[in-house]
């Protein structure tokens, strides 16, 4: 199963006590594929550095590289088209563009702006992290 993680969700997968740690566990076990684009990676870096410092970003980047090498489950996507699905916050389109180009199953997010993806006619659907964990990871986590 391939997913694209909104930045707020990505930040909350690290640390055993974090609410969305089962997503990281699924990545570590090779049960999940994470689709990311350069734009998304840059946002992850920017926000991680702002909130936790450069050293923390180095650790996160090293983990992503390790996952790519161990399980080949980090898919670097280069969307060639801007789909413009989200009009309320166009900056969020980077996640939709990546998910659509990757033919991902879900965009995991708590942002209501992504509801536009539900009726856009593309494969990826928005899903809350709690629902994603409950429906897709709880049995094997």
Query: What are the tens digits of pLDDT across the range 67-108?
Result: 999 999 999 999 999 999 999 999 999 999 999 999 999 999
pLDDT at 17: 92
What is the domain extent for residue 10? 2-137
pLDDT at 141: 41
Helices (H), 18-139: 21-28, 38-52, 54-71, 93-102, 129-132
Q: Are 60 and 52 in contact (CB under 8 A)?
A: no
Q: What is the DSSP letter of 83?
A: -
- Structural domain total, the chain: 1
CATH assignment of the domain containing 56: 3.40.50.1010
- Residue whose structure tokens are 């055993």: 16
Beta-carbon count within 10 A of 26 CB: 23
Tens of pLDDT along 43-53?
999 999 999 99
In this prediction, residue 138 has a pLDDT band, given cuts at 50, 70 and 90, of: confident
Specify the pairing of strand 33-37 against strand 74-77.
parallel
Q: Please determine, for residue 139, whether its predicted confidence score (pLDDT) is greater than 90.
A: no
CA 4/CA 114 separation, integer angstroms: 12
Q: What is the DSSP letter of 137?
A: I
- Residue whose structure tokens are 């694209």: 4
| β partners of residue 36 | 76
Q: Please determine, for residue 42, whether its predicted confidence score (pLDDT) is greater than 90.
A: yes
């Amino acid at each position: 199963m391939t997913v694209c993680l909104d930045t707020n969700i990505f930040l909350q997968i690290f640390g055993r006590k974090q609410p969305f740690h089962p997503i990281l566990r699924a990545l570590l076990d090779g049960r999940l594929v994470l689709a990311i684009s350069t734009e998304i990676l840059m946002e992850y870096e920017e926000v991680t550095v702002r909130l936790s410092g450069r050293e923390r970003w180095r650790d996160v980047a090293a983990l992503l590289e390790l996952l790519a090498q161990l399980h080949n489950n980090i898919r670097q996507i280069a969307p060639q088209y801007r789909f413009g699905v989200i009009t309320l916050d166009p900056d969020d389109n980077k996640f939709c563009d990546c998910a659509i180009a990757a033919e991902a199953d879900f965009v995991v997010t708590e942002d209501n702006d992504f509801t536009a993806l539900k009726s856009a006619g593309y494969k990826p659907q928005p899903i809350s992290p709690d629902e994603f964990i409950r429906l897709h990871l709880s049995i094997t986590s």
